[in-house]
Chains A and B, each alone.
Chain A
Amino acid sequence: MDGLNLEILAGDSFALIGPNGAGKTTLVKILSTLLKPTLGTVCVSGYDVTLEPEEVRKRIGVTSHNTFLYDDLTAKENLEFYGELYGLNKDEIEKKVDLLLKKANLRLRAHDQVSNFSRGMKQRLSIVRAIICDPDILILDEPSTGLDVASKKKFYEMVREQNTAGKTILLATHDLREVEMLCTKAAILDKGKIQKSGKIKDLKSDGLLEDVFTELTN
């Protein structure tokens, strides 16, 4: 990261677009407290990621191409475990797991081991895992890698539902189609610097988003 200055407002659906190695994942890791910034200040929901990481973690849900799921546990057991880590009690977990698995079309597979799930099912379960704590912000780092068309569609539906419910969405990706489907604002990142940011419709006012992206990152 180099001299990065970025503000994402509550309720936004914001995309971080950039080629491989642009710094998207590094920024996501800093925002989700997995990495500490060497310089500067990063705040999430008003909390400094370096000084109050636990407060930040309470307010974010993260999912990436890595699902953070245990293959040897069932879908329900995975969600119960993560629910416990977020301090939810047994009754809350029971209610939320049931409701969220239903939304993700996974209710009938609740007691199946995750190792038997397809990539799309795992990714849907991963979103459920990320939102079990009812976070203010949903951070998605290249979440649709390896998903087929139907799985992507269901996945996008779940993300949009979260945004409609008032959650902030931060999507890091290089899939521009995904950006246009899920986000209203974006920043184009290259070599750790923001090349351009704003509303997507403004960014592509001079042409296709793909052309703007290619021009700025070449």
Chain B
Amino acid sequence: MKVRYILSVAKKDLRVEFRSKHTINFMFLFSLLTITIFSLALGFSKVVEDVGAGLLWVILLFTGMMGVSRAFIREKELGTLEGIRLSPIDPESILIGKIVYNLVLMLLVEIITFLLFIVMLNLHVENIPLAIFVLTLGIFGFVVVCSMLSVLVLNAKTRELLLPVILFPIAFPMISVSIHALRDVFLGSGLSDISGEIVVLLAYIIIMFTVSFLTFGYALEG
């Protein structure tokens, strides 16, 4: 595994995406639409502090599923995945390159969605950096799992339908912990109050990353 190969794959994907804007426009549009709907439904209700974390994850989960899975599916549809596989780079570099690309994409969406969310739903968050940190950990875990699973469903005809079916059970523990930690931050908790959740999130990321790293080569061979 070489850093230059990882960066080449990530750089190429970012270049393709920011030139075509196929995925990111769709992600931003979906995000904005959902925040607007939540804003209309909840108004300036105080209930947002309790349910805000869950609502935010609903937006990011669906936005992410649309965007993250495209990294491999688009290559498959264009036939370029074989082009990459024909080059002498190890499969792990391809995986990490895709994770880096997906992470950049998701972090952009996360930051903008988060800021729009707290403004449009009038959510008062005392510790915004901590909230973003907790959310980012969850997004990182989600990107790792979703990137890996999108390769597993690559050869299925109904891959867009199949992905959520296998993603939800695997991502559920991480999403659940992230929602609890984020809600606590929204209600005023500090870093020490949510350290347990952060450890769980980090452990989840490490486990999923290791599993993906060990199995990706076989998954890519199909």
Bound: A208/B8 CA distance, A: 49
Select one of A62, A67, A84, A129 contacting B5, CB under 8 A: A84
Q: Encode A5-24 as 1/0 by CB contact (under 8 A) with B.
A: 00000000000000000000
Known: A82-B87, A85-B5. A68 touches B82 (CB 8 A): yes
B88 A58 Cβ-Cβ under 8 A = yes
Bound: A81/B15 CA distance, A: 11
Bound: A113/B20 CA distance, A: 11
Bound: A176/B132 CA distance, A: 63
Bound: A71/B83 CA distance, A: 13
B8 A68 Cβ-Cβ under 8 A = no
List A contacts of B78 (CB < 8 A).
70-71
Any chain A CB within 8 A of the CB of B119? Answer: no
List A contacts of B19 (CB < 8 A).
72-73, 113
List B contacts of A113 (CB < 8 A).
19
List B contacts of A62 (CB < 8 A).
86
B82 A66 Cβ-Cβ under 8 A = yes
Any chain B CB within 8 A of the CB of A160? Answer: no
B15 A68 Cβ-Cβ under 8 A = no
List B contacts of A70 (CB < 8 A).
12, 16, 78, 80
A86 B87 Cβ-Cβ under 8 A = yes
For residue B101, give the distance in angstroms from its CB to the closest CB of chain A: 13
B86 A54 Cβ-Cβ under 8 A = no
Tally of A-B Cβ pairs under 8 angstroms: 60
For residue A119, give the distance in angstroms from its CB to the closest CB of chain B: 14
B79 A66 Cβ-Cβ under 8 A = yes
B79 A85 Cβ-Cβ under 8 A = no
Q: Encode A27-59 as 1/0 by CB contact (under 8 A) with B.
A: 000001110100000000000000000110110
Q: How many residues of A contact B (CB 8 A)?
A: 27
Any chain B CB within 8 A of the CB of A189? Answer: no
Q: Which residue from chain B places its CB closest to the CB of A68 in the assembled complex?
A: B83
For residue B106, give the distance in angstroms from its CB to the closest CB of chain A: 20
A85 B8 Cβ-Cβ under 8 A = yes
Q: Which residue from chain B places its CB closest to the CB of A81 in the assembled complex?
A: B12
Known: A70-B16, A72-B20, A82-B87. A34 touches B8 (CB 8 A): no
Bound: A69/B12 CA distance, A: 12
Any chain B CB within 8 A of the CB of A134? Answer: no
List B contacts of A86 (CB < 8 A).
87-88
* A-binding residues in B (CB < 8 A): 4-5, 8, 12, 15-16, 19-20, 78-80, 82-90, 221
* B-binding residues in A (CB < 8 A): 32-34, 36, 54-55, 57-58, 60, 62, 66-73, 77, 81-82, 84-87, 113, 129
27 sampled A-B residue pairs with Cβ under 8 A = A32-B86, A34-B82, A36-B221, A54-B89, A54-B90, A57-B88, A58-B88, A60-B86, A68-B79, A68-B80, A68-B82, A68-B86, A69-B83, A70-B16, A72-B16, A73-B16, A77-B12, A77-B15, A81-B12, A82-B87, A84-B4, A84-B5, A85-B5, A85-B89, A86-B87, A86-B88, A87-B88
Give 10 nearest A-B pairs by CB, closest first: A68-B83, A85-B87, A57-B88, A84-B8, A66-B79, A58-B88, A54-B88, A72-B20, A72-B16, A81-B12
